[in-house]
Structure 1
Amino acid sequence: MHIDFPKLSQNEPTIGKGSKTKNTKFGQWVELGENNLIDNCTIGDYDYTGQYCFMQNTDLKKFISIAAMVRIGPTNHPYDRPAQHIFAYNGAAYGFEPKDDEYLANRKKIRTTIGNDVWIGHGVVIQSGLTIGDGAVIGAGAIVTHDVEPYTIVGGTPAKKIKDRFPDEIKADLQKIAWWDWSREKLEKYYLDFRLPIDEFVQKHIND
């Protein structure tokens, strides 16, 4: 939620008060809300988050809208071992050494991917290792445990398909157009086209 929209920077992320990032790469025109924790992620152009979002080992593509209190890519504990507790694999805080570097490295390799133009509602949890397709909508409070197809609206716990945003032919045309990869100049030139009915937008740009 924005009370006042900040003026964003093209080349430097706008990071809200109390937010922390580690081993994370940012695209252009990025905004993080307050009190985010972002670890080992890539964040694409024009992505923004609300407050209290936590992400790990996640690759976000472009033009992603993330509401407050969203959790993406939570890491798992080794429930097949004698102890699940962090002390058994990363216990320095408790005075236990050495840490299990192999386990920790393998856990980081489990990547979650969020496609272009995805809208993620308030309080969503997206489990690690999943792929959310371009143009998908994740309803508020959903717990996502399986991949989500492009331009699909899902919700609930666990999340299930509610409906498609568009017919299959429109979905295919939008992915062919891939407007999220347009240059800044082209986005500015056709900015008002994003207010057109979807059929008119597709008809105008399918052969660009």
Structure 2
Amino acid sequence: MHMDFPKLSKDKPTIGKGTQLKRTTLGQWIELGENNLIDNCVIGDYNYTGQYCFMQNSDLKKFISIAAQVRIGPTNHPYDRVSQHIFAYNGAAYGFDQKDTDFLEKRQQVRTTIGNDVWIGHGAIIQTGLTVGNGAVIGSGAVVTHDVEPYTIVGGVSAKVIKDRFSDEIKTDLESIAWWNWSRQDLEKYYMDFRLPVEEFIKRHV
């Protein structure tokens, strides 16, 4: 089935119906799908999401591809306390006004980082405080509970390495080239190079 992609704007993000943004900074060339909830995040250039994604307290670098129903940085309840229920630390909805600001502020400071050119499959969950390296692939339905190394493919519950995308030498070269930091002018100049075999791309740009 052929799908037409929207024409995106450099400075005006394309935001789907029903999406809510709270305390979030957006970069350039951004597309967010419908019914996302994004709270206390930094979203870098050229990132896009599918529908029904939920992200909190996270830093997303550039060129990240996020499928539908992805959860990044879910916050934890204080399971080491007498009660882990929200009423005990943020109970205004239940008529308890003494909010535990210390706990809430500390929870917001635990950041999840998604590297450049990462692909996150449908329904994946990436737990709070983790780092996903550049060029990684997170399989559909994966539950990520540990950091993910650059250019590795992980999947399953809890997620384990399935394979590396490239050899260590190629990984090192790509990290060195760091094309995701190129200017728009260079991206346009070398655009067709992204269709070359990876070895040829490296020869031209390392």
Deviations 1:116-158 (A, max 9, x none): 0000000000000000000000000000000000000000000
Give the structure-2-normalised TM-score.
Answer: 0.98
CA distance in 1, matches of 2:114, 2:45: 13
Q: Which residue is equivalent to 2:111? A: 111
Could you tell me how far 1:13 is from its partner in structure 2? 1.4
Q: Residue 154 of structure 1 aligns to a residue in which SS?
A: strand
Match status 1:166 vs 2:181: no
Deviations 1:77-127 (A, max 9, x none): 000111111011011111101100000000000000000000000000000
CA distance in 1, matches of 2:193, 2:4: 26
Q: Which residue is equivalent to 2:84? A: 84
Q: Which residue is equivalent to 2:36? A: 36
Match status 1:180 vs 2:190: no
CA distance in 2, matches of 1:173, 1:3: 34
Aligned partner letter, 1:194: F
Q: Which residue is equivalent to 1:193? A: 193
- Paired residues, what number? 205
CA distance in 2, matches of 1:188, 1:93: 51
Aligned partner letter, 1:22: K
CA distance in 2, matches of 1:94, 1:8: 43
Q: Residue 102 of structure 2 aligns to a residue in which SS?
A: helix
CA distance in 1, matches of 2:50, 2:3: 11
CA distance in 2, matches of 1:91, 1:113: 29
Q: Residue 106 of structure 2 aligns to a residue in which SS?
A: helix
Q: Residue 90 of structure 1 aligns to a residue in which SS?
A: coil
Aligned partner letter, 2:32: L
CA distance in 2, matches of 1:107, 1:94: 21
Q: Which residue is equivalent to 2:102? A: 102
Q: Residue 192 of structure 2 aligns to a residue in which SS?
A: helix
CA distance in 1, matches of 2:136, 2:184: 23
CA distance in 2, matches of 1:147, 1:19: 28
- Structure 1 unmatched ranges of 5 or more: none
Q: Which residue is equivalent to 1:202? A: 202
Could you tell me how far 1:199 is from its partner in structure 2? 0.2
- Structure 2 unmatched ranges of 5 or more: none
Aligned partner letter, 1:205: H
Could you tell me how far 1:3 is from its partner in structure 2? 4.1
CA distance in 1, matches of 2:51, 2:67: 7
